[in-house]
Chains A and B, each alone.
Chain A
Amino acid sequence: MNNILEIHDLNVTVRGDEILNKINIEVPEGEVHAIFGPNGSGKTSLMMTIMGFSDYKITSGKIIFEGEDITELGLTERARKGIAVAQQRPPTIKGVRLRQVLDYAYAQNAANARELEDLITANGMDKFLDRDINDGLSGGEIRRVELLQLLATRPKFAMLDEPDSGVDIEALELIGEMAKRLFSIDISHPAFRRSGLIITHTGQILENVYADKAHVMLDGTIEGCGNAQIVLDTIYDSGYSQCLTCIKRKVNQ
């Protein structure tokens, strides 16, 4: 199986401070990987770097997407190649409506429009369309709006930053359904999936989206990886340090 994303020895700084150190990840085509790690460990920075946000300066290493080195590519180019991120704290843009962004996405992918309009109506999201993007939205509403935009753009590689944090049970259900739909390229072929990364603390989103593998980050480095459910259970039972000891022992054996 080909890797859709490969990251090799990636070092990243933000305003001169090193925040990611020697990151190595491979995500095969059709796989979804989870990223676990305590707050401040660099999970969001990793996603923002893959997307190409300018605050995140790559000082060494490479990002390979579909076999092409995209390390030097700009944000728009990466988005157009099929990379997308649903941010946890996206900016508010006064005067720019959600509908405008969706219209832009529909223009690139007209067949998607009707299907998505049905979803918007079914999920009661019509009211967000003519509001300024992310203005005055609750945590759950922001996540739904972010997911909606990803559904509209149909990326090849979707990254979700804590889609299940700080939302109530009702919203979580909707978010879970939207995430499931996002990663299911064809609902009648569950094994045929969109690739991506999901950051989660609680693992709740993984009840809707199966994660093939989990990576554990600590202090800006990937310290280990393993089966998503086992890693999550170990973190729940014994914390991050015990989980890493366990992963490293397995690697050494």
Chain B
Amino acid sequence: MSDLHQTKGESIMNESTWTPSEEIEIKDFVIESGSSQPSLIAPSQFSKIDAQELAEVGVLFDNPERAGTFVVQDFHTVCSQTQAEGLEVLPIADALKKYDWLQKKYAWKLIDPDTNKITRFCANQEIPQGYFIRVHAGTKVKFPYQAALYTTHTNIAQAIHNIVIIEDDAELTLITGCATQHEISSGVHLAVSEQYVGKRARFTNTMVHSWGPKVSVRPHSATAVDEEGIFESNYVSLRPAADIRSNPTTWLNGDGASARYYSVILGSTGSHIISGGEVYLNGKDTSAELEHRAICTGGQISQTGLLVGSNRCRAHIDCSGMILDPGKKGFIESTPGIRAQHPEAQMSHEASIGKIAPEQVEYLQSRGIEERQAISMIIRGFLNADIEGLGEELDARIDQIAEMSGHGEGL
């Protein structure tokens, strides 16, 4: 028998196989502060350092073009304000006390609290932390609302439960910045988000993450979209955590509903990131688009996703990766998935992984552009290829990633 693939009994496995991150043991982290709920403060009362940290993830305290600000710092909500009519924001614990219907109709209805130990932990919080956002029917909130989930102490477990309700014909753009203070290296961020998009409503959720190098992140996000509702989810991982496992799920239940996911993941050495996304196209004439973009500078990135078409629908998933420097163990793995359960479900997928072509860099250099700047331009182009209408905030974040990865800087 020929032995073309193995010699001398050596393993054909190379070093770049998946290094699974260890399961989170929540008990290893500080799970409560022991302190009581502090008084709420205004955005202007945050320290300069905190303001700078949160500005990096798109939460800008001095920007007048914001509909309001919400901040959870470590274990407590420290800021909750809104200045737009028809936009209601409360700490989730207060909202659950105020509205009986919230518990009955919305809380833990999209995510089963018994899904896993993380959801159980979030569900069992005595005083749940997180935001309740409700946009009343017909209200189109002009400026984005901003929320920060912020960790300022080392080795804590921050548990969050958010509920967003965009009522019929309403519109909201939400910017959620999740970050650890720069000197905080370890901790866990556990989050459950349940989001409801009403008939003809539009909800854009732009999430920007910036984590310490030993932080584990486990977001559980679920969204239900009613008739002709539109849900857009943008996710940018600016400073990658030790490990992130994210698989946001959307149910397009109403006819004509649509969803678009766009993610930009940067995987530097030591990070393990699984970036997924599931969309169930249940209504007639629903549509979904998933765009994953990943840049590998030594980390391990798995791009996944599953679109399930059970009605007349259109759906496309595109996973694209760029390997800048895989180091010893880095890689990008792409497994876009589609499942059609209806003869009129038109579904497609594509995946590609490559490097920056030197001839492209040199072409730009021949126009007088510095090599580093040329690389940044190409990365920026890769991240933004064929995706229009990104907000200024996300654009700025993506520019930052392109700039930093083009310069080969550790992130």
Residues of A within 8 A of B (CB): 51-54, 74-76, 79-80, 84-85, 87, 90-91, 93-97, 100-101, 104-105, 108, 132-133, 149, 153
Task: Give 19 CB contacts A-B under 8 Å.
Answer: A51-B366, A52-B366, A74-B371, A76-B365, A76-B368, A76-B370, A76-B371, A79-B366, A90-B363, A91-B357, A93-B363, A93-B378, A93-B381, A95-B381, A96-B377, A101-B369, A105-B368, A108-B368, A153-B368
Q: Is the CB of B381 within 8 A of A94?
A: yes
Looking at chain B, what size class is its interface with the partner chain? 20 to 34
Additional A-B contacts beyond A74-B365, A96-B364, A104-B368 (13; CB < 8 A): A75-B362, A76-B365, A76-B370, A76-B371, A79-B366, A79-B368, A87-B363, A93-B378, A96-B360, A104-B369, A105-B367, A105-B368, A133-B363
Chain B 82-121 near chain A by CB (<8 Å), digits 1 or 0: 0000000000000000000000000000000000000000
- The reply on B1 being an interface residue by CB < 8 A is no
Query: Which chain A residue lies CB-closest to B359?
Result: A91
What residues of A have a CB within 8 angstroms of the CB of B378 in the complex? 93, 95-96
Q: Is the CB of A94 within 8 A of B385?
A: yes
Q: Is the CB of B377 within 8 A of A153?
A: no
- The reply on B380 being an interface residue by CB < 8 A is yes
Q: Is the CB of B366 within 8 A of A84?
A: yes
Query: Which chain A residue lies CB-closest to B367?
Result: A101
Q: Which of B359, B363, B385 has the most CB of A within 10 A?
A: B363
From residue B402, how far is it (CB to closest CB) to chain A in Å?
10
Count of inter-chain pairs, beta carbons less than 8 A: 68
Query: Which chain A residue lies CB-closest to B381?
Result: A95
- The reply on B29 being an interface residue by CB < 8 A is no
From residue B105, how far is it (CB to closest CB) to chain A in Å?
44
What residues of B have a CB within 8 angstroms of the CB of A100 in the complex? 377
Q: Is the CB of B377 within 8 A of A85?
A: no
Q: Is the CB of A76 within 8 A of B381?
A: no
What residues of A have a CB within 8 angstroms of the CB of B380 in the complex? 95-96
From residue A89, how far is it (CB to closest CB) to chain B in Å?
10
Q: Is the CB of B360 within 8 A of A91?
A: yes
Query: Which chain A residue lies CB-closest to B384?
Result: A95
Q: Assuming A76-B371, A100-B377, is B364 touching A93 (CB within 8 A)?
A: yes
Q: Is the CB of B366 within 8 A of A85?
A: yes
Q: Which of B366, B371, B378, B385 has the most CB of A within 10 A?
A: B366
Q: Is the CB of A79 within 8 A of B365?
A: yes
What residues of B have a CB within 8 angstroms of the CB of A104 in the complex? 367-369
What residues of A have a CB within 8 angstroms of the CB of B366 in the complex? 51-53, 75, 79, 84-85
What residues of A have a CB within 8 angstroms of the CB of B364 in the complex? 93, 96, 101
- The reply on B358 being an interface residue by CB < 8 A is yes
Q: Is the CB of A96 within 8 A of B381?
A: yes
Q: Which of A75, A108, A149 has the most CB of B within 10 A?
A: A75
Give Cα distance in the complex from A93 to B380, angstroms.
Answer: 11
Query: Which chain A residue lies CB-closest to B380?
Result: A95
Q: Assuming A54-B362, A75-B362, is B381 touching A132 (CB within 8 A)?
A: yes
> Nearest 10 A-B pairs (CB), nearest first?
A95-B381, A79-B368, A75-B365, A96-B381, A95-B385, A76-B365, A91-B359, A93-B360, A80-B368, A91-B360
From residue A52, how far is it (CB to closest CB) to chain B in Å?
8
What residues of B have a CB within 8 angstroms of the CB of A80 in the complex? 368
Q: Assuming A91-B357, A91-B359, A91-B360, is B367 touching A79 (CB within 8 A)?
A: yes
The A-contacting residues of B in range 333-387, CB under 8 angstroms, are 357-360, 362-371, 377-378, 380-385
Query: Which chain A residue lies CB-closest to B358?
Result: A54
From residue B350, how far is it (CB to closest CB) to chain A in Å?
13
Query: Which chain A residue lies CB-closest to B372?
Result: A76
Give Cα distance in the complex from A75 to B383, angstroms.
Answer: 26
From residue A146, how far is it (CB to closest CB) to chain B in Å?
10
| Selected contact of A153 from candidates B360, B367, B385, CB within 8 Å | B367
From residue B390, how far is it (CB to closest CB) to chain A in Å?
13
| Selected contact of B382 from candidates A85, A95, A133, A153, CB within 8 Å | A95
Q: Assuming A54-B358, A75-B362, A100-B377, is B368 touching A94 (CB within 8 A)?
A: no
